[in-house]
Chain A
């Protein structure tokens, strides 16, 4: 993990009224550079996957109405993801996102690139899913303890209070 830009911290918010996750993060780059890093497959594959996982782009058409598909791989285990680019603009990308392991689930992602001037950009990413349960699973995904253990633990904690 690079510490060079750690002054730019991610802020995250789980909306109380809607099943939305919002992420905000500043970058020392222009909006057009950020759009390139999100739309050019060679660039995108370099940063999207978790550390230690290799990302392979299988399908990629980063234009409005286009589609994408990639797999992340580690130790022979593969995780596939796919979706559509609804809109690719100079300061905004709207796309869908589905994890192949949960093919019924789909998130609508809106990425906004706000020009802060001086070669800096604020990325505001919003992910909308179809239920609070799906959002909580989303938040818990990739944790050492799975969602079920998380719920079980929460149940136990909250049950003890009643």
Chain B
């Protein structure tokens, strides 16, 4: 099912370590050992992360070479992030309109306070 696949992509990208691994693979292919290097975790733990990324279709490993480097499937990554980014940009546009409404609300409140202060000042 396609929707399961997309959810797997989102799930794979939800983990900060895996996001970091994806970012590094975006710069170039790397073996599991190379990926494990900067982390304070076992190669086995990194292998598990790689398996999640592979199951989601985000990463492939070449079978022929002895090193079996991990390769980022950039198109899958781009598509999934594009969906999220589109949604984010729509929310951003909506909340920038809300910023304007809030600024008007505060401008109105300030003007009202100023009017009140002037009135009170005139009365005293």
Contact = CB atoms under 8 A, between A and B. Distances in A.
B17 to A, nearest CB: 13
A117 interface: no
25 contacts: A1-B96, A4-B99, A9-B92, A10-B91, A10-B92, A14-B84, A16-B12, A17-B11, A25-B91, A25-B95, A27-B95, A27-B98, A28-B102, A46-B100, A47-B95, A51-B93, A51-B97, A136-B7, A140-B83, A150-B83, A154-B2, A154-B5, A154-B80, A157-B76, A161-B73
Nearest to A132: B7
Contacts of A133: 1, 3
Judged by DSSP, the binding face of A is: mixed
A15 B15 CA distance: 10
B76 A15 contact: no
A11 to B, nearest CB: 8
> Which 5 A-B residue pairs are closest in the complex by CB-CB distance?
A16-B11, A47-B97, A151-B2, A16-B14, A133-B3
B88 interface: yes
Interface of B: 1-7, 10-12, 14-15, 57, 60, 73, 75-76, 79-80, 83-84, 86-88, 90-103, 105-106
Given A1-B93, A2-B97, A47-B97, A36 B76 contact: no
A12 B94 contact: no
Contacts of B98: 27, 37, 47
Judged by DSSP, the binding face of B is: helix
Contacts of B103: 4, 28
Interface in A133-154: 133, 135-136, 138-140, 142-143, 150-154
B90 A142 contact: yes
Instruction: Report the interface size class on chain A.
Output: 35 or more
A77 interface: no
Contact of B6 (A12, A154, A161): A154
Contacts of A2: 96-97, 99-100
Contacts of B14: 13-16
Nearest to B85: A12
A34 B105 CA distance: 10
A43 B87 CA distance: 23
A67 B80 CA distance: 35
Contacts of A50: 90, 93-94
A157 B77 CA distance: 10
